[in-house]
Amino acid sequence: MAQRTQQLVIDEGRGQFLDRNGEPLTFIEKNVLVLFPFLKRMEWPVEKVARIIHVTPEIIETKLEHAKGPIVFGGKEAYQLSEEQMNQINALKIQGVFAVTRKFKSANVPASQLIGITGENAEEFHERYPDKVKGVHQKIGVTGMQEIFDEWLVSEEQSKLIYHVDAIGGPLFGADVKYLAPANPFYPLNIKTTIDTDMQQALETVADQYKIEKGGLLLLDIENSQILANVSRPAINTSDPFSGGAANYMLKSLAPGSVFKTVVAAAAMDEGIVDESRMFNCNEDIYGDPDDKQHGTINIKTSIAVSCNRTFADLAKELLEKDDHSLEEYAEKLGLLGEISWKGNVFHYEDFSQLQVSEGRIFVSDEERKDINYIAQTGIGQKEVRVTPLGIANMMATIARGGEKYMVSAATSIDYQNGTSMFSFPKKKMEGERISPFTAMKLQQYLRGVVNSPEGTAPHLDTALYTIAGKTGTAQTGKEREGKELYNKWFAGYFPFEEPKYALVAVNMDVQEYEGGIYPIFKDSVDAVYKLENE
């Protein structure tokens, strides 16, 4: 009689992602009952198994009735066994009945766009890994960290239960079930991320509560320059990830609007062009015409608080007269542009980068640097200025640290299966010059004034549970909906002001002028972090 095999995969064998505490992000482990289909043609003590798992024997028999291959009892919502139930079932030693620990893919992966998605592509697999001879069903990373860390995650071999059966599916006597597991207990490797699952979930809730359709939130740990939460909308459609939501807007270059004035202020102070004694006519707009918002004649500190366009248009022109690349230089000094993602040598990789971050820019061509109206618009974060939310969060962290700038990391280590580390990613400074400590201190005061001075643009944030410093931005996008202009609305800042721990950026993209308010989103996010820290 011909011999065949029936098998059930217990673990695909691909490495997984863990949160900062080593808890799984991409999978759930469950103790489950596995039943092989030949049981339906045999006499076996179904009552004993039913009694252990507290169901009727009929329920087990009904499940087996339709089984074509080995089944996990309870299907996707698998019945979770206790350790004691597992031991009791396995002690019965019934052919075709097993209690095992199985990995299930998480339905909702926290920070899903940052983690990324996998797909099956045999051709791409063999191109990436010519030395590995594997079956067609090899999953490879396609986006995000799944793609970046793919070489360490790619599966060695699956763990499975195999049973030899005869031609009609009955058990071959004397041929017991085999549990095939990878020979090397250290593999596959796991990636330990910087994600704080509780904070991630809290900010996901805020994004959904305020119905952010496009945009998101990014939270950084200032001391270690690590991403604690990365929320991007639209969310990934888990049943069809490529149909939408796979993009991580926190790493994409977007028009920043007035948040960019922070760079202009830093450059002008560092270059000695402005101090608090200098006044600007903020009754006029950037072209010298009367402005709708009559802010009066004010200094740099108040100009940041009220977000006066005239001040930053004038300063941008003076800066570019002095050095036509000064805005790029200061954007790099603040950690807004340049090598933001953790980068370094990892084994045989030179310049391995943890994140795929869009390159930002301030001007597209040198012609633009000569046009004063173009420069004026650039100084207020319009025209061709494009920066990433990650870069803006990093800039706020840099200011909060007094000018120290660090690369941002999303992973802390590559770990063996037993939890020991194979490679750790150390905290790394960003190369290049930085702003002076005095300028950083002044910026801290001015960004606090945005929230706590009577004329500041964000007084609503002064009711938050932590003290906040930061900057608003409303960027024109050049897009319209129902004949009305669309904007990117931003708030970026850090908290608590006295002892900075977190930098946060919130952006609501492509919203009309009177919708998608950013302050409640930012405040509720800060309050959520406070509650997790203090309750």
243 DSSP 8-state letter: G
Cα–Cα distance measured from residue 391 to residue 339, given in angstroms and rounded to the nearest whole number: 10
Contact present, 433 and 333 (Cβ < 8 Å):
yes
Secondary structure of residue 502 in the 3-state scheme = strand
Only one residue has tokens 């217990």, namely 10
β-strand pairing of 71-72 with 27-35: antiparallel
Q: Identify the CA nearest to 195 among candidates 415, 19, 378, 377.
A: 19
Q: Which helix (H) or strand (E) holds 489?
A: strand 484-495
The full length of the chain comes to 535
**What sign results for the dihedral spanned by CA atoms 412, 416, 420, 422?**
negative
Cα–Cα distance measured from residue 126 to residue 104, given in angstroms and rounded to the nearest whole number: 26
Contact present, 511 and 233 (Cβ < 8 Å):
no
Q: Which two tokens stand for residue 492?
A: 């970026």
Cα–Cα distance measured from residue 280 to residue 310, given in angstroms and rounded to the nearest whole number: 7
Q: Identify the CA nearest to 344 among candidates 225, 434, 253, 431.
A: 431
Only one residue has tokens 């590559």, namely 414
Region of 419 please: left (phi>0), alpha (psi -120 to 50) or beta.
Answer: left
Contact present, 295 and 528 (Cβ < 8 Å):
no
Q: Taking the C-alpha atoms of 318, 402, 387 and 382 in order, what is their torsion angle to the nearest 10 degrees?
A: -30
Cα–Cα distance measured from residue 495 to residue 450, given in angstroms and rounded to the nearest whole number: 13
Q: Identify the CA nearest to 45 among candidates 81, 92, 79, 90.
A: 92
Cα–Cα distance measured from residue 329 to residue 34, given in angstroms and rounded to the nearest whole number: 62
Q: Which helix (H) or strand (E) holds 122?
A: helix 122-128
| From 159, 258, 409, 525, the catalytic residue | 258
Q: In the annotation, is 258 catalytic?
A: yes
**What sign results for the dihedral spanned by CA atoms 464, 466, 468, 473?**
negative
Residue 326 makes CB contacts below 8 A (sequence gap 6+) with: 267, 271, 319, 320
Residues 42-78: b if buried by 16+ CB within 10 A, e if exposed: eebebeebbebbebeeeebeebbeebeebbbbbeeeb
Region of 402 please: left (phi>0), alpha (psi -120 to 50) or beta.
Answer: left
Only one residue has tokens 């994140």, namely 355
Q: Taking the C-alpha atoms of 193, 195, 197 and 200 in order, what is their torsion angle to the nearest 10 degrees?
A: -150
β-strand pairing of 17-18 with 97-105: unpaired
* Catalytic residue positions, numbered: 258
